[in-house]
């Protein structure tokens, strides 16, 4: 009975999920827009940005006046003792108990840092950290846009390949049926029929693998966009390209564009400025500090608990406090050396990053140009394969050719179309990678 109940609940849940499932038509632009709102990692980065804003506000708050209230009520088991000295007594030093056993003290204290270079340096450091976090968020957006675009294009490639293989499967199934018919009539060899059967089975296996690959890629795409798994995605873009629109030339200005837009380069530059500010902050620790302070105090001591009868003498003061470091065991020297070394490290990393960006652009530009060249060749191969297939088909229809020749021509045409699809995919992928390398890819 328990197993039957579990089975019924499972079926109900499946029915509910299937009823709630919906199909959404999605372009690449819409996929990027969905990801900008639904991606969890991006949401984490946005919250981190908000946190860094609060950190900057906290750093600035140390430059404002601080006011505090303190109160204490103390019960002494024995009264406090003070030691007095009298030269006229035999015992020069003697102790005297003073005050009451019940003591109250309350005060309000205020202070304001008039001059404190450390606090100002901390505010600047917090600002650098905030800007670095913003650039990291933009870098996350770019990587997310690249991942989604690659997945989207890969799904399109798999679907286009599936369409071509299904067309080839239909032709091979017809060829298999014809071969079987001729074999039963004694006009064909059994090996020819087996050859067509093996081709059909191989195509069916390839289509099954593509279906599984499309499902897996769709799940990954929905995860990046923050979409529920029960939503069915219908990708409406295509892999078709126009050579005029796709000519994404990289000239000498490409590096300048990358230097202006690459987020990792901006992060490294901000880190260099941060190291310089840390050196300023280290030196600020050994500079004079000036602050203004004031206090208003009430206090009372009695020998009873009748608090309402206490008298509360008032005490108040205001003053200026100056602190000048004189000697610190050469800590300033050691900290300064460390900061200078860190600045040199950051400067070297920045130069290394610029060189790697230039190398990356050259590599991706060469890949893009090669993909264009391969596409032109693949187009010519498709045209030649189509002509060859038409010729073999006419020969077969007129009884001048055999089925194996037609099957070879069909296989060559399918392979040429698949290679052409792969070339188009390579162009689209290279273009996206170039945009990402130049810092021009956004959600």
CATH code at position 229: 1.20.1600.10
Q: What is the three-class DSSP state of 81?
A: strand
The Cβ of residue 315 has, within 10 Å, a number of other Cβ atoms equal to 10
- Judged against a pLDDT cut of 50, whether residue 59 lies above it is answered with yes
- Categorize the per-residue pLDDT at 4 as very low, low, confident or very high, splitting at 50, 70 and 90: low
- Which of 86-90, 121-125, 284-288 has the weakest average pLDDT? 86-90
pLDDT, tens digit (0-9, with 9 covering 90-100), for 320-346: 999 998 888 888 888 889 999 999 999
Q: Is the pLDDT of residue 16 over 50?
A: no
110: pLDDT strictly greater than 50: yes
Question: Where does the pLDDT of residue 87 fall: very low under 50, low under 70, confident under 90, or very high at 90 and above?
Answer: confident
- Say if residue 249's pLDDT is above 60: no
Same domain? For 157 and 235 the reply is yes
**Residue from 406, 410, 404 nearest 393 by CA:** 406
Band of pLDDT at residue 208, cut at 50, 70 and 90: very high
* pLDDT at 14 > cutoff 70: no
Q: Are 204 and 169 in contact (CB under 8 A)?
A: yes
How much is the average pLDDT of 10-23? Answer: 49
Cβ distance 148 to 221 under 8 Å? yes
Contact 268, 350 (CB under 8 A): yes
Number of domains in the chain: 2
To which residue do tokens 């000519």 refer?
247
Whether the per-residue pLDDT at 94 is higher than 90: the answer is no
Q: Of 79-83, 336-340, 344-348, 372-376, which gets the smallest average pLDDT?
A: 79-83
pLDDT number for residue 11? 40
Quote the pLDDT of residue 187. Answer: 60
Indicate whether 197 and 106 sit together in one domain.
no
Contacts of residue 128, defined as CB under 8 A and 6 or more positions apart, other chains included, come to 270, 273, 274, 277
Domain presence at residue 7? no
Last residue of a domain, one of 279, 305, 324: 324
> Residues 336, 411: one domain?
yes
| Percent of the chain topping pLDDT 70 | 90
Query: Are 27 and 149 found together in one domain?
Result: yes
Predicted TM-score (pTM) of the model is 0.80
- Say if residues 154 and 218 touch (Cβ distance below 8 Å): no
Q: Could you tell me the residue range of the domain that residue 222 belongs to?
A: 20-63+116-287+325-437
What number is the average pLDDT over the span 111-122?
A: 92
pLDDT of residue 419: 92
Is residue 1 assigned to a domain?
no
Pick the closest to residue 346 from 278, 299, 414 (CA basis): 278
Q: Decide if 4 is inside a domain.
A: no
- Judge if 142 and 263 occupy the same domain: yes
């Amino acid at each position: 009975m328990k197993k039957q109940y579990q089975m019924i609940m499972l079926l109900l849940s499946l029915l509910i999920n299937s009823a709630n499932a919906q199909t959404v038509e999605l372009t690449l632009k819409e996929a990027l827009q969905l990801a900008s709102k639904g991606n969890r990692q991006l949401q984490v980065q946005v919250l981190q940005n908000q946190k860094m804003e609060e950190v900057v506000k906290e750093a600035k708050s140390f430059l404002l006046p601080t006011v505090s209230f303190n109160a204490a009520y103390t019960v002494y088991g024995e009264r406090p003792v003070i030691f007095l000295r009298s030269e006229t007594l035999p015992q020069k030093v003697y102790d005297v108990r003073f005050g009451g056993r019940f003591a109250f003290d309350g005060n309000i204290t205020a202070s304001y840092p008039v001059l404190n270079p450390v606090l100002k340096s901390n505010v600047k450091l917090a600002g650098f950290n905030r800007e670095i976090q913003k650039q990291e968020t933009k870098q996350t957006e770019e990587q997310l846009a690249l991942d989604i675009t690659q997945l989207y294009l890969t799904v399109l490639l798999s679907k286009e390949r599936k369409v071509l293989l299904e067309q080839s499967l239909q032709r091979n199934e017809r060829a298999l049926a014809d071969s079987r018919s001729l074999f039963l009539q004694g006009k064909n060899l059994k090996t020819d029929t087996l050859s067509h059967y093996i081709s059909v089975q191989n195509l069916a296996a390839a289509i099954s693998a593509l279906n599984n690959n499309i499902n897996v890629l769709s799940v990954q795409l929905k995860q990046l966009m923050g979409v529920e798994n029960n939503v069915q995605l219908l990708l409406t873009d295509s892999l078709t390209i126009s050579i005029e629109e796709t000519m994404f030339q990289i000239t000498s200005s490409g590096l300048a564009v990358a230097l202006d837009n690459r987020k990792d380069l901006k992060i490294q530059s901000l880190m260099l400025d941060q190291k310089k500010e840390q050196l300023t902050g280290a030196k600020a620790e050994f500079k004079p500090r000036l602050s203004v302070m004031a206090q208003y105090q009430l206090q009372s001591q009695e020998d009873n608990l009748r608090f309402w009868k206490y008298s509360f003498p008032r005490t108040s003061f205001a003053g200026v406090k100056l602190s000048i470091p004189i000697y610190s065991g050469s800590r300033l020297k050691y900290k300064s050396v460390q900061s200078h070394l860190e600045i040199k490290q950051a400067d070297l990393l920045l130069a290394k990053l610029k060189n790697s960006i230039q190398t990356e652009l050259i590599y991706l530009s060469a890949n893009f140009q090669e993909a264009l060249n391969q596409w032109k060749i693949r187009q010519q191969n498709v045209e030649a394969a189509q002509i060859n297939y038409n010729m073999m088909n006419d020969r077969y229809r007129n009884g001048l050719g055999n089925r194996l020749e037609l099957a070879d021509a069909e296989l060559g045409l399918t392979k040429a179309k698949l290679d052409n699809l792969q070339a188009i995919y390579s162009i689209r992928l290279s273009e996206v990678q170039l945009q990402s390398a130049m810092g021009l890819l956004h959600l």
